[in-house]
Amino acid sequence: MQVVRRTPVVGDQNRIMAQRRVPFDLDAYEQRVRADADTGNCFICSIVTGERDDHLVVFRDERCVAFLDKFPTLLGYTLVAPLEHRTDVVAAFTADEYGELQRRVHRVGRAVSPAVPTERLYVMSLGSHQGNAHVHWHVAPLPPGVPYREQQFAALTREHGCLDIPRNELVAVAARIRDALDRGES
C-alpha cells in the first residue's frame, strides 16, 4: 500500500509536492536489529569504522557522528551518536561528556532546520538494549502544514511507511545540512 503525503518542497514552502511513502516491514526490521544485537553487530559502530557506507554522514568530529536516517519518516531526519559505543543515554556519560554531546545535537538541529522546511524540530533519544543499543539522538524536522493528528509520534512512526526519497534529493539535503554546519548557522 502506498500512502501519499503532501510535504513542502525544499526551498519553496508555498509549493507542495506529493511525497510517496513506501511500506516498511517492521517485523523484518525487528528481526534484523535483534539478530545484530545477539551477534554484537552495531550499525552505528559500523558507520563509525567505515564498514558501512549506506548512510549519508553530515557531520563527524572527535566525539560524534551525525547521519541521515536510512528509513526516514520526515525529510532531513538525522541521527546523532557518540563515536564510542555506549548503551545508556545518561548513566554512560559524565555530566561534561553528556553536555558536549548535547551541544553537538543542538548544533546539528540548528543546521537541519534551515536545510529543510521546519515548523517544529523533534529531538529525542530512542533505542533499546534489545536492538540499536548504541546511544543516539533523533533530530527530526516536522515540515510546516502537517495536520495536528499527524504530528509528534504519528510523524515519527514507521507503521505508515517511510518516505521514498530519491538518492539525489537525500544527497542534496545532506549537503545543505553540511553547508549550514560549515557556515556556522548552527
Beta bridge pairs of residue 139: 78, 123
Which run of H or of E encompasses 66? Answer: strand 64-68
What SS3 state is found at 59? strand
Region 3-183: CATH code:
3.30.428.10
CA 185/CA 178 separation, integer angstroms: 10
**For every one of its 186 residues, what pLDDT tens digit does the chain have, with 9 covering 90 and above?**
344 343 444 443 332 334 689 999 999 999 999 999 999 999 999 999 999 988 999 999 999 999 999 999 999 999 999 999 999 999 999 999 999 999 999 999 999 999 999 999 999 999 899 999 999 999 999 999 999 999 999 999 999 899 999 999 999 999 999 999 998 865
> Domain spans of the chain?
3-183
State the pTM of this model.
0.88
